[in-house]
């Protein structure tokens, strides 16, 4: 394949970190991104170049472009953490085996919101033909997080868990995994309308945090199920209140920052006297720390679930890179995943 010298991409307008956390809402993407033509990167040792088919917009992407993520931005480079596409160039003999293969990938060298993405060969998963592009694009960030956290839940011997943002793609995966493992999932959502769907996935209870009887309903289900792990993607005052209402020795596992501001913890005695704890989960750290067989098994399980239709990515909209600065704010308000595509959608 003859590669062009340049490519369209959504590139970062700022370097480093902002030092602030402001939630996910972005009214003007042009403040953070620019649509430009930039040079097509060249694969070095151990790297591959991927012709991108599509790439999702995840909460971690939004935090990253605003400088609120765990790694600093690099101005002028494409954003986007994951995607799917076909390998069109390899940097050395070890990476040559991926040439022409359709892969899911984590973008380790240049971002996925571009016509071509550069990444390490080790960050690619060769795909089964049965996996749709929509599922392949979102095969890694959410699914591996769900599988890794559920493994943590099982290691703790938990028989019940509480989930915030339970109607999200990741929340639905966690509910299904818990149901398969006979773990009661207490799903907390911010808006009504998802109760029936989440119960069909296996949620033991679905509670709407804005409902007038929310606190009473939560207290009742806690007394019955005695959950001791809170898997929290929001990080707001509601999450702190849930944590306070849960039994002694509860673990609050924070893996997201959907809230515009953090919570206030008013009762420190729950740590001193009740043995409660707060911990974080970051997929990047898990990917670095997990033994290779554990990571490979999780990638294989995620792919199998998508190939068989057990999991399916709910796509709300497809947005061309060229239209993203204009169309993303509205698209991200829809229920489901937004996919960025290099060409016509």
CB-CB contact of 310 with 147 (8 Å): no
pLDDT of residue 19: 78
Tell me, what's the pLDDT at 344? 53
3-state helix, strand, coil in the chain (%, to 5): 35, 25, 40
Rg (CA), the chain: 21
Write down the pLDDT at residue 266.
79
pLDDT at 265: 85
pLDDT at 153 over 80: yes
User: Residue 345: pLDDT above 50?
Assistant: no
Share of the chain above pLDDT 70, in %: 99
Fold of the CATH domain 6-138+313-341:
Quinone Oxidoreductase; Chain A, domain 1 (3.90.180)
Q: Pairing mode, if any, of strands 315-320 and 337-341?
A: parallel
Between these two residues, 18 and 278, which has the higher pLDDT value?
278
The CATH number that domain 143-284 falls under is: 3.40.50.720
Give me the residues paired with residue 252 across strands.
230, 278
Across 190-205, average pLDDT = 94
Average pLDDT over residues 148-170: 96
104 half-sphere exposure, CB direction, 13 A CA radius: 25
- pTM as predicted: 0.92
Mean of pLDDT values over 278-284: 94
pLDDT score at 288? 92
pLDDT bucket at 172, cuts 50 / 70 / 90: very high
Each residue of 288-333: pLDDT tens digit? 999 999 999 999 999 999 999 999 999 999 999 999 999 999 999 9
Residue 13 has pLDDT above 50, yes or no: yes
207-230 residue pLDDT tens: 999 999 999 999 999 999 999 999
Mean pLDDT of 252-277: 86
Report pLDDT for 259: 82
Question: Is the CB of residue 123 less than 8 Å from the CB of residue 42?
Answer: no
Domains 6-138+313-341 and 143-284 share a fold: no
Q: Give the start-to-end residue ranges of the domains of the chain.
A: 6-138+313-341, 143-284
Helix runs in the chain, H state only: 59-65, 133-137, 141-155, 169-180, 195-201, 214-225, 237-245, 269-272, 283-289, 292-307, 324-331
Q: What is the mean pLDDT of residues 64-74?
A: 92
Per-residue confidence (pLDDT) for residue 22, from 0 to 100: 75
């Amino acid at each position: 394949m003859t590669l062009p010298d340049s490519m369209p991409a959504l590139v970062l307008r700022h370097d480093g970190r902002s030092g602030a956390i402001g939630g996910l809402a972005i009214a003007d993407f042009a403040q953070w991104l620019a649509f430009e033509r930039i040079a097509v990167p060249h694969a070095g040792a151990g790297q591959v170049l991927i012709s991108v088919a599509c790439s999702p917009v995840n909460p971690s992407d939004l935090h990253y472009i605003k400088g609120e993520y765990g790694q600093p931005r690099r101005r002028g480079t494409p954003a986007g953490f994951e995607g799917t596409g076909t390998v069109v160039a390899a940097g050395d003999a070890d990476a040559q085996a991926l040439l022409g293969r359709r892969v899911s990938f984590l973008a380790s060298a240049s971002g996925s919101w571009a016509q071509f993405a550069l990444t390490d060969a080790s960050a690619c998963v060769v795909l089964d033909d049965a996996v749709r592009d929509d599922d392949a694009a979102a095969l890694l960030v959410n699914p591996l997080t769900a599988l890794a956290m559920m493994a943590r839940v099982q290691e703790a011997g938990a028989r019940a868990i509480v989930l915030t943002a339970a109607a999200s793609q990741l929340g639905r995966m966690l509910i299904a995994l818990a149901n398969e493992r006979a773990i009661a999932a207490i799903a907390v959502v911010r808006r009504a309308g998802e109760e029936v769907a989440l119960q069909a996935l296996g949620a033991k209870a679905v509670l709407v945090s804005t409902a007038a009887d929310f606190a009473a309903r939560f207290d009742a289900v806690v007394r019955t199920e005695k959950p001791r792990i809170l898997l929290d993607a929001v990080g707001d005052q509601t999450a702190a209140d849930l944590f306070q209402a849960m039994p002694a020795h509860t673990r609050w596992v924070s893996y997201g920052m959907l809230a515009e501001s953090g919570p206030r913890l008013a009762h420190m005695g729950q740590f001193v006297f009740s043995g409660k704890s707060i911990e974080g989960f970051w997929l990047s750290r898990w990917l670095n720390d997990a033994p290779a067989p554990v990571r490979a098994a999780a990638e294989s399980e995620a792919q199998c679930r998508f190939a068989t239709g057990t999991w399916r990515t709910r796509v709300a909209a497809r947005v061309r890179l060229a239209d993203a600065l204009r169309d993303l704010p509205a698209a991200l308000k829809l229920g489901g995943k937004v996919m960025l595509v290099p060409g016509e959608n």
